[in-house]
Amino acid sequence: MLDDRDARCGVGMFTQSVYSVFQERVVIAMVGLPARGKSYISKAIVRYLNFVGCPTQLFNAGNMRRQHGLAGTDASFFDPANKSAQDAKEAMAMDCLDLLLGWLRDETAAGGSACAILDATNTTVARRRKVIQRCKREAENDGGLRLLFVESVTDDEVILNNNFRMKLDNEDYIGADPAAALADFKARVAQYEKVYQPVCDETDGEETRYVKITDAGRKLVSKNVEGKVQRKVQRLLGSIHLAPRKIWLALVGETHHSTEGILGGDTSLTAEGVAYARGVSELLLSREREGGSAPATIICGSLKRYVAMAEILCATSADGEERPAKRAKAELCQNCLRRGCGGECMGGRRRRLMVIASANELSAGALDSLTQTEIQQRFPREYEARKSDKFNYRCAHILPRPSPAAPRRALTTAPPQHQFGHHTAPHQHQHRRTSTIAPARLHQHHRTRP
């Protein structure tokens, strides 16, 4: 029986994040005029890469300027003709880059991958060349360093005006008159526009790596993107959009393992769990009616408890009617006629169901299907680690000790059963997860513009 002592002695082993095995040091330098969504994109990359297991940190040049006592500076500070201000801006940008490279160096000292983001305008070829040269010097000690420019271009006036209004909440305009602040910020943008040079092959060089996103995902252009980390960023940027939508998160109902104190497993809902699922269905129906929204799409995992709850949620149409067994052909909607479903789906008012394995809970690994007592006895360190920080804890996947007669392929683990998890910490072993909320309510999340 494998326990903590075996793990400490190396008899067993924990699964590893791919980002702790392969070494990729990636610097992402943002490019774009103010209010083009650079910080929004940067923070999205930070959240996503940390989520999948690649340590990622954001370094904002504007914050460094404010930390140097230059918060609230007016548009004249950003005038390209203001030589002293431009020198100060360049120095702070390079200082910010040095901090970034220092963090990246320390983060990967023992190997593995990491990504650091320079959130600055970098709107001129001269600035970008300085960034390239500084990264080249750093890469002389380690050929694994890669620089990727991510440029955000916004031509849509609706997006721009919304972004301008959001900028009035930053530290440069605390306590300022909104009209005066907006006028000053637009004047600041005009100063940057005087010298703005978009990233292109002719001026930045054929070897430059870049991704250019226009109007928050309407158009995406990339060149020389390579490596696992950069490809992850590229796919994320291709998924960004600003279409408004509502997302409700609901915890699955009580299961038989829950009542027995068993972690994970794949058991069905208890009677209480079924009653809870029906309550969620009623609450969802009331929310749909209040908002006048289209029927919700139900996304759930593939485990028994998820499918059982999803079927209850889909058993009632968005009109509050039980799904009939069948309807006359004359009553069928065009979708029903096209699909040939016979009307069981409630036509255009039905709730759609997507069952996907990636929506399952975090894998409990070697702890799966054990009671809390068994976990405490066999894996005391894991028990205490999970108890002290459930928010960041990740269950250990420990390979079983092979028996002398077992074939070599016995070292592979069985398909994991999943356990609900939470926000991913960058240094923990990473797995897919879903977010949860308290079972007594639904939470509504709104996507905001950059």
Pair 38, 175 in one domain: yes
Q: Quick: pLDDT tens for 246-260.
A: 888 899 999 999 899
For the chain, the residue count is: 450
- For residue 258, being part of any structural domain is answered with no
Please say if the pLDDT value at position 404 is more than 50.
Answer: no
Q: Could you give the number of structural domains in the chain?
A: 2
Q: Locate 103 and state its tokens.
A: 């963090």
**Residue 359: predicted pLDDT:** 86
Q: How far is CA 75 from CA 86, 152, 163, 165, 243, in A?
A: 12, 22, 17, 16, 32
240 or 157, higher pLDDT? 157
**Residue 429: predicted pLDDT:** 35
pLDDT confidence of 348, banded at 50, 70, 90? very low
Please say if the pLDDT value at position 441 is more than 70.
Answer: no
pLDDT confidence of 394, banded at 50, 70, 90? low
Highest mean pLDDT out of 85-99, 132-146, 317-331, 372-386 = 85-99
Of 114-118, 202-206, 281-285, 392-396, the range with the lowest mean pLDDT is: 392-396
Q: Residues 338, 284: contact at Cβ < 8 Å?
A: no
Sheet holding 145-153, edge to edge: 56-60, 114-119, 25-31, 145-153, 210-214, 219-223
Kindly write down the DSSP assignment for every residue of 134-159, as one continuous string. HHHHHHTT-TTEEEEEEEEE---HHH
- For residue 2, being part of any structural domain is answered with no
Domain-terminating residue out of 214, 237, 260: 237
Q: Quick: pLDDT tens for 211-232.
A: 999 998 889 999 999 999 999 9
Q: Quick: pLDDT tens for 359-388.
A: 888 777 788 888 989 988 988 888 888 888
Domain range for 368 is 361-419
- For residue 87, being part of any structural domain is answered with yes
**Residue 199: predicted pLDDT:** 95
- For residue 255, being part of any structural domain is answered with no
Query: What is the C-alpha to C-alpha distance for residues 213 and 41, in angstroms, rounded to an integer?
Result: 10
Q: Quick: pLDDT tens for 319-340.
A: 545 554 343 444 444 555 555 5
Query: What is the C-alpha to C-alpha distance for residues 231 and 23, in angstroms, rounded to an integer?
Result: 15
Question: Residue 429, by phi and psi: left (phi above 0), alpha (psi -120 to 50) or beta?
Answer: beta
- Cβ count within 10 A of residue 337: 13
Pair 85, 229 in one domain: yes
- For residue 101, being part of any structural domain is answered with yes
Q: How far is CA 101 from CA 21, 28, 197, 221, 232, in A?
A: 20, 11, 25, 27, 21
Please say if the pLDDT value at position 100 is more than 90.
Answer: yes
Domain-terminating residue out of 193, 221, 237: 237
